Amino acid sequence: MVPLPPGQRSVEGFPRFGTHLHRPPPAVPDDPVIAISGVVRKPSEVRLPELATLPRREVVADFHCVSGWTATDLQWEGVRFADFFRAFVEPALDPEVSVSHLAFVGLDGISSVVELQDALADDVLLADRVNGGLLGGDHGAPIRLVSPAQYGYMSIKHLCQVEVCSALPAHRLDRSIIGRLIEGHPRARVRHEERHGHIPGWLIRPFYRPLIRPIRALCAKGTQDR
């Protein structure tokens, strides 16, 4: 059995996570699309049935929340983001454009900024199924990003837009006081414990640990309710 990364503890089940749990999941549009914008010749939209032209992929991986809990051995199904990028993004780029970052935006308004090298990793998916069933609202319906090597805040739910960037997109960063306090690491690699943009991961672990007990209780309740 592979040990969990530094500072992580396993939970049963897979809880809904995020900083906006007081709100219900966003409604799914009748005709969902993933908009492609940014440094492309012309903005475009990819309808979800178009993803069926790409090879399907299954990835079994742990999901690591930056707060310290880990849901183990989740079975994700979808298409590789690298295949999506090469099929729908690369043809829209000018040859002289150098892509450095991608901003992923969800229907709930949450976004993440991911370096291109991390987004194109072999196990990064645009997932529409988890553990044998379609994604529900709690976990990102109708489709979401899944980047197993990074903390969960990078894996945007309810994906509706991919913004292609040739530099760090400062307009996508939260510059509020709270945003600066919980500023994420630009790569957020779990094995390197890159929890925060400026503070070492081990140093902020104690501030996250009080969150794990209620998360465990929530998972246990969810198991009883099923």
Q: Please give the residue range of the domain that contains residue 84.
A: 9-225
Residue 101 lies in a domain: yes
Q: Is position 4 within any domain?
A: no
Question: How far is residue 89's CA from residue 39's CA, in Å, rounded to a whole number?
Answer: 10
* Residue 127: inside a domain: yes
**pLDDT tens digit string along 188-207?**
999 999 988 777 877 777 77
Instruction: Give the C-alpha separation, 192 to 220, whole Å.
Output: 29
Sheet architecture: strand order including 101-106 = 44-47, 33-38, 159-165, 101-106, 111-115
Rounded to whole angstroms, the Cα distance separating 26 from 35 reads 17
Q: Provide CB contacts within 8 A for 152, sequence distance 6+.
A: 17, 63, 64, 65, 66
Number of structural domains in the chain:
1
The structure's pTM equals 0.87
Q: How far apart are CA 209 and CA 197, in angstroms?
A: 19
**150-174: average pLDDT:** 91
Contact 127, 142 (CB under 8 A): no
- Specify if 134 maps to a domain: yes
Give the CATH number of the domain where residue 164 resides. Answer: 3.90.420.10
Give pLDDT tens digits for 53-106.
999 999 999 999 988 899 999 999 999 999 999 999 999 999 899 999 999 999
Say if residues 85 and 171 touch (Cβ distance below 8 Å). no
